[in-house]
Structure 1
């Protein structure tokens, strides 16, 4: 072969950091060694993989085309190395989860996964849907657990489980005893909702089609707990995933509101890069998630 795995690692690290010094640091190499590895890789095939813009190294078209294949090749090599070294695959994973899933579902799944796979390590990153999608596209994550839909051609979306959004208020709110809300009520409400870019906000806007421009958005907050606290304090009406509200409804600190004319049903999804090698650990994670429903 005209290339080494180390050269490919330098290529991927440079693509991720767009800076050779930071790429070298991430691989515990000297800057000169990383520079030499990248130069040798390009010279072996008489190609240029990056455009040099000052101190930045930005992938050119050829570099962008081969990046997914290099990522998949190195994933397979690491999987083989683990299997040969330990006679089993520990299933190290980098998982991204949107806030509702990450805070209310993923941690228990992660604990069960690590219990069933001794020696496995799981890195869990919790962020909104748009952030998780971008990290998947940059090969910074192995899998995303998301509550928003995306149509990106490089990502495969697999249905996971059903969910629904619930409108809610404080128990002393005038609407707490109301049998249902009509569209006039929705327009009169002071809404406290998730920020743009989140899957919850995306579906809230879909469910409110026809009313959206007239809705009174009082607060946009990134965290579900902050929204619940604001609604409990009487600042307005909220709308979040049912899984985030179970305890609050049980305690009576929040009250669900019926909105029968609006469709708040949605799904949770697995998001994977189409070029990502599916390791045995990743397959085990998928099976465990599906079994948790």
Structure 2
């Protein structure tokens, strides 16, 4: 074999940090050792994996093409190392989740996962659909649980479970007494919504596509709790996953508003990179999610 796993680690760290000094720090190496490892790898095969722009390393087309295979190989090597050291095939897994899933579903799943696999380490990163998709593509996350549709040829996107959005308002809002909302009500309302790029906003825009040009969006916020608080304080009406609204509706802090003319159903999805090695930890996490 004409390359080492250490050389692949340097290649991937440089691709992630775009700087050989930061790559060396990430791997606890000296800058000169990391630089030599990368140069030796390129020289060995007479290739160039990066474009050098000052101190910045910009991965080129060849580097991007080889990156998934290097990621997969290192993942398998790390899984084997965990098995040798711990006699346990489940080590660390990095899970990404969108806000609704991360705040209302993933933490309970993570707790049960750790209870079943005490030696496992789970990192949970919460962001919107666009951000999670990009991090799965760049191998910064092992897999993602998303509430929007994110299509890319390098990703496997698998439906997980059904969900439905719910329009809601403050008990003191003029619409609170209506048995259902008409399209005219939806157009005249002041809306408080998630930001573009989130799965919730994607589903809302799809359901309201023909009304959007005439709708008034007063606020766009990145957090479901901030939207609920704004709605409770009478700043407008909102639309979020029913999963995130159950406790507030039950307590009477907000009122659910039926919208029979609008289809607010959607799916939650698993996303994984097609080149990602399916470690024992990933397999067990998927099984637990599917059975939850």
Match of 2:166 in 1: 166
**SS of residue in 1 equivalent to 2:174:** coil
Q: Which residue of 1 aligns with 2:69?
A: 69
In the other structure, the counterpart of 1:17 is 17
1:148 match: secondary structure: coil
Partner of 2:275: 275
Large movers: runs of 4+ above 3 Å: none
Cα deviation code 1:45-99 (max 9, x no counterpart)? 1111110011111111111110000000111111111112222213311000000
* Distance in 1, Cα, partners of 2:156 & 2:289: 17
C-alpha separation in 1, matches of 2:243 and 2:263: 17
Q: Which moved more, 1:87-96 or 1:207-216?
A: 87-96
CA distance in 1, matches of 2:103, 2:86: 33
Task: Identify unmatched segments of 5+ residues in structure 2.
Answer: none
CA deviation string 1:88-139 (max 9, x = no partner): 2133110000001000111111111111111211111000011101111111
CA distance in 2, matches of 1:112, 1:22: 36
Residue 39 (structure 2) pairs with residue 39 (structure 1):
yes
Aligned mates of 1:2, 1:256 — CA distance in 2: 63
Query: How far has the Cα of 1:158 moved from its partner?
Result: 0.8
SS of match in other structure, 1:193: strand
Number of equivalences = 292
Equivalent in the alignment of 2:126: 126
- Residue 80 of structure 2 aligns with which residue? 80
Asked whether the equivalents of residues 148 and 268 of structure 1 are also in contact (C-alpha less than 8 Å), the reply is yes
Alignment RMSD (CA, Å) = 0.7
Counterpart Cα distance in 2 of 1:86 and 1:193: 47
Q: Secondary structure at the match of 1:272?
A: strand
Aligned to 1:92: 92
Partner residue, 1:28: 28
The range that moved more, 145-154 or 83-92, is 83-92
TM normalised by structure 2 equals 0.99
Find out whether 1:257 has 2:257 as its counterpart.
yes
Deviation at 1:206, TM superposition (A): 0.1
SS in 1 for 2:262: coil
**Residue of structure 2 equivalent to 1:153:** 153
- The 1-side partners of 2:158 and 2:278 are apart by 14
Gaps of 5+ in 1: none
Q: Secondary structure at the match of 1:164?
A: strand
